[in-house]
Chains A and B, each alone.
Chain A
Amino acid sequence: MSAVLQVSGLRTAVATADGPLEIVRGVDLAVEAGETLAVVGESGSGKSFTALSIAGLLPAGATVTAGSIRIDGQETADLPEPARRRIRGAQIGMVYQDPMTSLNPMMRIGPQVREALTVHGWTAAEATRRTMEVLDEVGLPTPGAMARLYPHQLSGGMRQRVLIAIALAPRPKVLIADEPTTALDVTIQQQILQLVGGLRDEYGLAVVWITHDLGVVARIARQVSVMYAGRIVEQASVLDLFGAPTHPYSAALVASVPPMRGTDRGDLPQIGGSAVPLADLPIGCPFRERCPQSIEICAEREPDLLPRNGSHAACWVEPGDWT
């Protein structure tokens, strides 16, 4: 089965006073219908810019400079804005990090969902029917009454459900979720994860789930890409990532997750140092200076993402040779 979303060699740069700065430095992703790919990384790893690039929602000053983004085989990376607009929403839905500020405070819920349909050519009657249907699908009680409310009358969890309804109303093929549970309570997080998982199966959605939370990864995805300094450093199944990470950075991330059971109250392992600034990337592997495994070649050339033990890793040192 071919991937619904196929990203290859994606590069995204933002304009700065010192010229363009590459935030995404050659990212490959593929997601099939009904699958979730988690993209993990710390702040500044380029994961959000990857999401915004795919959704065609880059802020002013940021542009995709190279690479291909195919949705159902159709190339979207080099489309002019009018054609791009017709794909946004209709074929790619997006759910955002902060449900409290992501809805228009002056518009009722119903019209905000409806607008996602009418701008893509749905008739008024069809749009109204679909709005009620999708509000019901995301688990909001009494959709008719809900549609007449304003955002400030809803809780954070309910608002996130409305945003999911907006994203899914036009039946897109791809859903990009940019840390949608980060701002929510843990119990609500669980509900949203279950909701999106259920809708993914029902709609056959290809989901890209951006997060920094490995706990979320384990609950939503089967495949995971770990990003560091604008590149994917490990691509693995979730089981392999947790069981046998093939990149020292992923290994450190996995080790820093607090254990669920056990009496060991010792200090959590941390990753020393801080993420390298993209404006000032060193020659060689960008993780080198924080890496316990680094060898000579790491300072000379940046490793490519290559198959390793069933996963893919961008590292010069084989896990078997780790100290």
Chain B
Amino acid sequence: MIGLRWAAVRFGGALLTLFGVAVVVFLVLRVIPGDAITASMGIESGTLTEVQRASLEHYYGLDKPLVVQFFSWLGQVLTGNLGVSLISGQSAASLIGAALPITVELAVLAAVIGTAAGVLLGMFAASAPGRWRDGTAQTVALLGLAVPEFVLGAVVVAALASYFGYFPDTGTFVPLTSSVTGNLSQMIYPALVLAVGFAANVMRTTRSAAVEVADADFVRTARGKGVPAGRIRSRHILRNASVPIVTITGIQFGYLLGGTVIIEQIFALPGLGRLLFTSIENRDYPLVQSSVLVVAVGFVVVNLLVDLLYRVIDPRTRAA
């Protein structure tokens, strides 16, 4: 079902992309003023003598050519050493390892809710294009897109606090492994906020794809067979509209991996977004570098999965 050649080409492509990402991440941090010495020593680095600076540069490997520095860094990354946080002294790998599952859980929750709501709303709108239900659904979606998530997040936090006496940003975080209900009661609100914009995009894509497919000849064939309208929508229209829906879902999911910075801040979730935010604030370069790399890897992996899904969904793509 999934051709070996295709897999080889696609995985090779993904590896190349990741290599490119590594190069960019590495270079960007070398271009920013200040190196590892100024970052760790601050203004004191200005008082270093030539000899002291040279020995420190040798210690950090900064005296070697850029290419050598890059590959030695890449080698470290590939063996799981993402460096050490300049602030806490903890390994970046363990900090990211603790933060990543929270962000992934948040993104998965938002994606599941957003996709389900978006597809339902989109099919609802497409079932009578140009009529009142279409207009209503499209207006709702536009509203969902127009309200920024930081506004919606703040409103939700304020509403929860004043009407339910629940303060999501003061409690300590409960991991999924220690209490599923405790964890979900913390995660559901930020996930819902993220799901709004997610659903709006999925809705618009679903609607336009479904409206287009509904005009296809094979839908008329299905009607001619006497298939009931509901089954035509689920078995014939939605199936054939699913490729663009999977695409928009994948793109948004990938975006969420790095795009939860604000929402994690508002809801005080110790996820990757928050880690990235604080490490940028603290100029904790090794941590910024490895967090960005992890987000990028996540994006590439999600894209690979989406490509794989196309082949599962659409038999025509398997032949090529």
Contacts and interface: CB of A to CB of B under 8 A. Distances in A.
Given A90-B226, A106-B240, A98 B217 contact: yes
A104 B236 contact: yes
Contacts of B231: 119
B35 interface: no
A105 B217 contact: no
Contact of B221 (A103, A106, A153): A103
Given A102-B217, A104-B240, A106-B239, A152 B316 contact: yes
A249 interface: no
Secondary structure class of chain B's binding surface, majority of residues: helix
A222 interface: no
Given A101-B218, A152-B315, A89 B240 contact: no
- The size bracket of the interface on B is 20 to 34
A119 B221 contact: no
B154 to A, nearest CB: 43
B66 interface: no
B213 to A, nearest CB: 10
Given A102-B217, A102-B218, A106-B240, A166 B225 contact: yes
A105 B231 CA distance: 16
Nearest to A55: B224
B225 A89 contact: yes
- The size bracket of the interface on A is 20 to 34
Contacts of A242: none
A116 B236 CA distance: 13
B23 interface: no
B221 A102 contact: yes
Contacts of A115: 222, 225, 227, 235
Interface string B246-281: 000000000000000000000000000000000000
B63 interface: no
B223 to A, nearest CB: 6
A86 B235 CA distance: 18
A27 interface: no
Contacts of B216: 101
B319 interface: yes
Contacts of A116: 225-226
Interface in A32-63: 55, 57
B226 A85 contact: yes
Interface in B195-241: 216-218, 220-228, 231, 235-236, 239-240
A119 B218 contact: no
Interface in A114-134: 115-116, 119-120
B60 to A, nearest CB: 56
A247 B239 CA distance: 50
A7 to B, nearest CB: 18
A150 B217 contact: no
B226 A120 contact: yes
A122 B229 CA distance: 19
B43 to A, nearest CB: 64
A199 B226 CA distance: 21
Interface in A133-158: 150, 152-153
B159 interface: no
A94 interface: yes
A153 B320 CA distance: 12
Contact of B222 (A104, A105, A150): A104
A20 to B, nearest CB: 18
Contacts of B315: 105-106, 150, 152
Contacts of A224: none
A164 B314 CA distance: 24
B236 to A, nearest CB: 6
B161 interface: no
B220 A102 contact: yes
A88 B224 contact: yes
Contacts of A98: 217
Nearest to B314: A106
Interface in B97-119: none
B240 A57 contact: no
Contacts of B314: 105-106
23 contacts: A55-B224, A57-B220, A57-B224, A86-B226, A88-B225, A89-B227, A90-B226, A96-B220, A96-B224, A101-B217, A102-B220, A102-B221, A104-B218, A104-B239, A104-B240, A106-B314, A107-B236, A115-B235, A119-B228, A150-B315, A152-B315, A166-B221, A166-B225
A-B CB proximity, top 4 nearest: A89-B226, A101-B217, A116-B225, A88-B226
Given A88-B226, A101-B218, 18 more contacts: A57-B224, A85-B228, A86-B226, A89-B225, A93-B224, A94-B224, A96-B220, A103-B218, A103-B221, A105-B315, A106-B240, A115-B225, A115-B227, A116-B225, A116-B226, A120-B226, A150-B315, A166-B225
Interface of A: 55, 57, 85-90, 93-94, 96, 98, 101-107, 115-116, 119-120, 150, 152-153, 163, 166-167
